[in-house]
Amino acid sequence: MTPVGRFAPSPSGDLHLGNLRTAMLAWLCARSAGGRFVLRVEDLDERSRPGAAARQLADLVAIGVDWDGPVLWQSRRREAYRAAVDGLAERGLVYECWCSRREIAEASRAPNSPPGSYPGFCRELGEARKRELRANAPRPPSLRLASAVRGFAVADLVHGSRTGPVDDFVLLRWDGTPAYNLAVVVDDAAQGVTQVVRGDDLLSSAPRQAYLASLLGVPEVEYAHVPLVVNAGGERLAKRDGAVTLADLAKAGTAPGEVVRLLLASVGSGAATLREALDSFDLGRAPAEPLAWG
Ligand code: GLU
């Protein structure tokens, strides 16, 4: 089966070298296997910056990443997310949750609770208490998945087979914003994605997403969670680390073509352009450790 790969940036600012390298790897994985490549702008949350998406797309083009079909904008797909939640709710797989972040953080510090996971308080609320909360709570409830499992296995090209925790994660936030995990699964399915190559900071989200995909009856994807680019101190690269975007690097005298060569070298390719790198591309040759920059 020829893969369909994707890149799904959040438009919170310009892409930095870590994002560009991930985009490049995702593109090379799909295109080197003769596959399609699609793009999605994950512009649902409050960190989205006007104009950032356009600059991100232009930077992708500048390094040689192209894509098939129209770009999918998450902010235009609220009905699709709502429909998925309604379908799950009809099957009794959704419940309302009034817990605050603080309550959840305090509870998840308890022994035997995986960090950050939801302990399920609101799943057991009785009808009378729910009526009271609906009438009197300071804000509307978020909607959570009533998960039937505690863990789920995913296949990852870099990390092998991995089982990770699955909790009753949020599907719709209290203000109606679709949660990241829901939107990713609904959209990967809508775009026909079969291969998800992304930063390994999202490896722990994969079991939740794969489980949700199984509930929604959408095909399983193949994952490759690739190492991040880190700064001299070993932390994930960020804007504050200096010249790390294409625009900053160009100002500092490194043209986009040179950036592409450096990034390709960092994944074991001696090619000068992404197209040239296609024939001999092998994800297995990319280092499994984070790439240090600066
Ligand atoms: N939008 C996410 C990010 O930029 C990536 C989501 C994904 O690849 O699943 O970090």
Neighbours of 282 (CB within 10 A): 12
* pLDDT for res 285: 85
Split at pLDDT 50, 70, 90, the class of 106 is confident
Show the tokens assigned to 264.
């390709």
* Mean pLDDT computed over 31-42: 97
Longest CA–CA span in the chain (Å) reads: 66
Instruction: Using the atom order of ligand 1, give the atom closest to the CA of residue 184.
Output: 9
Residues with CB under 6 A from ligand 1: 8-10, 42, 184, 198, 202
Identify the CA nearest to 157 among candidates 128, 186, 195, 131: 195
Residue 294 pLDDT more than 80? no
Distance of CA 94 to the CA centre of its chain: 22
11-15, 162-166, 224-228, 241-245: lowest mean pLDDT where? Answer: 241-245
CATH code for the part of the protein at 90-172: 3.90.800.10
* pLDDT for res 293: 84
Residue 243 pLDDT more than 90? no
Options 3.40.50.620, 3.20.20.150, 1.10.150.120, 3.40.80.10; CATH for 4-76+227-292 is 3.40.50.620
Q: How far is the CA of 196 from the centre of ligand 1 (A)?
A: 10
**For ligand 1, atom 6, which residue shows the shortest CA distance?**
8
Q: What residue type is assigned to position 124 of the chain?
A: E
**Token pair 């100002």: residue:** 251
pTM: predicted TM-score of the whole model, two decimal places: 0.95
Which residue from 198, 201, 237 has its CB within 8 A of the most atoms of ligand 1, so it is best to mutate? 198
* Mean pLDDT computed over 32-48: 95
**For ligand 1, atom 7, which residue shows the shortest CA distance?**
8
Residue 240 pLDDT more than 90? no
* pLDDT for res 287: 81
* Mean pLDDT computed over 203-213: 97
HEC letters along the chain: CCCEEEECCCCCCCCEHHHHHHHHHHHHHHHHCCCEEEEEECCCCCCCCCCHHHHHHHHHHHHCCCCCCCCEEHHHCHHHHHHHHHHHHHCCCEEEECCCHHHHHHHCCCCCCCCCCCCCHHHHCCHHHHHHHHHHCCCCCEEEECCCCCEEEEEECCCEEEEEECCCCEEECCCCCECHHHHHHHHHHHCCCCEEEEEHHHHHHHHHHHHHHHHHCCCCCEEEEECCEECCCCCECCHHHCCCEHHHHHHCCCCHHHHHHHHHHHCCCCCCCHHHHCCCCCHHHCCCCCEECC
How far, CA to CA in Å, does 264 sit from each of 23, 156, 269? 12, 22, 5
Residue 125 pLDDT more than 70? yes
* pLDDT for res 50: 84
CB proximity list for 201: less than 8 A, separation 6 or greater: 228, 236
Split at pLDDT 50, 70, 90, the class of 156 is very high
Residue pLDDT, tens place only, 168-192: 999 999 999 999 999 999 999 999 9
* pLDDT for res 96: 98
* Mean pLDDT computed over 29-39: 97
118/104: higher pLDDT: 118
Split at pLDDT 50, 70, 90, the class of 102 is confident
* Mean pLDDT computed over 88-114: 85
Split at pLDDT 50, 70, 90, the class of 136 is very high
* pLDDT for res 111: 64
44-48, 59-63, 83-87, 243-247: lowest mean pLDDT where? Answer: 44-48
Which residue from 27, 37, 42, 59 has its CB within 8 A of the most atoms of ligand 1, so it is best to mutate? 42
Work out whether strand 142-145 and strand 94-97 pair parallel, antiparallel, or are unpaired.
Answer: antiparallel
**Token pair 């679709």: residue:** 178
The domain ranges of the chain are: 4-76+227-292, 90-172
Instruction: Using the atom order of ligand 1, give the atom closest to the CA of residue 9.
Output: 4
Distance of CA 87 to the CA centre of its chain: 23
Whole-angstrom Cα Rg for the chain: 20
* Mean pLDDT computed over 194-216: 97
